[in-house]
Amino acid sequence: MPRGSYFSPDDQKLYYLIRRTGGSTRLDGELWVVDLVSGRSERVLPGFTIASFDISDDGKRVVFAAAETDKPRLWIASVAGEFAPRKLSETDDDHPMFASNGEIVFRASEGSANFIYTMKENGTGRRKIVPTPILALNSVSPDGRWVLAIARVSGDDVTASVLAYPTDGGRAVRVCNTCKVSWSRDGRRWYLSDDDGRTYVIDLRENNSLPDLPALGIRSAEDVASLSVLQTIRQPFIAPGRSEGTYASMRMTIQRNLYRIPLP
């Protein structure tokens, strides 16, 4: 699934979701930004309950999925309020992500199946880029060459895996079974989070590429050790910054109220 927080291009601000009440998923909430220098936080898009979002590479725009009558729709807005939020879709779409080629990658529902689509930032040029269905989007390389998604697989000991799809066509590459993966904003590093609460920072042989993966994907600590690991972070769900060593991790807190109820 796409991350729940994103850095600005200069690593000086962090955008994140705060869930208040309701919402159909755990991360549905209000979009906020914190200035990491001053510590000041403010709400970005009042009036919207957001399920997923992404920040453009120049830090000026946000694309997001907001629920309408229990169905998500895609919107784009200026983070500084330079233009009013614009709706990009009237169909069941979510998990939008910017690609540097000027397009937005997202998940679209067709009946009971989901597919990977792209469109331009003005909502035109909508097209399916992978013919086979997926379950959820994971991430997209900054240059838009690769899209990682969870999809069903057969003939194996698992029913679903993370696959890397080349957006210009070609065969998908098996990545792992249950990991979460994202690129740094500059495309130089790969962040791989496993089920044991660790994130591995992997050096890439070329920007926006994939590491040299085993034929069946990453399945063991030995498979990870065979990669060019720069750092191991003992946190899952990392939001990487542009600078090496800059990242944010998610911590969930629950607030409950206590009430005194008089007994008869």
pLDDT in tens, 175-185: 998 888 989 88
Confidence of residue 211 (pLDDT cuts 50, 70, 90): very high
pTM: 0.85
Contact (CB, 8 A) for 35 and 7: no
**177-180 — which CB contacts under 8 Å span 24+ positions?**
177/217, 177/219, 179/218, 180/1, 180/138, 180/236, 180/237
Count of alpha carbons within 13 angstroms of residue 38, beta-carbon side:
6
pLDDT band at 202 (very low <50, low <70, confident <90, very high): very high
Residue 33 has pLDDT above 90, yes or no: yes
How would residue 13 be classed by pLDDT, with cut points 50, 70 and 90?
very high
Cβ burial of 173 (10 Å; 0-12, 13-18, 19+) is middle
Please state which CATH class domain 5-129 belongs to. mainly beta
The pLDDT of residue 99 is above 90: no
Note the pLDDT of residue 257: 54
| pLDDT at residue 24 tops 70 | no
Structure tokens at 172: 């998908």
- The side-by-side arrangement of strands in the sheet containing 103-110 is 93-98, 103-110, 113-120, 127-128
Amino acid at 29: G
**Whole-number percent of the chain with pLDDT over 70:** 89
> What is the mean predicted confidence (pLDDT) over 94-111?
90
User: Structural domain boundaries of the chain?
Assistant: 5-129
> Distance (Å, rounded) from C-alpha 203 to C-alpha 19?
34
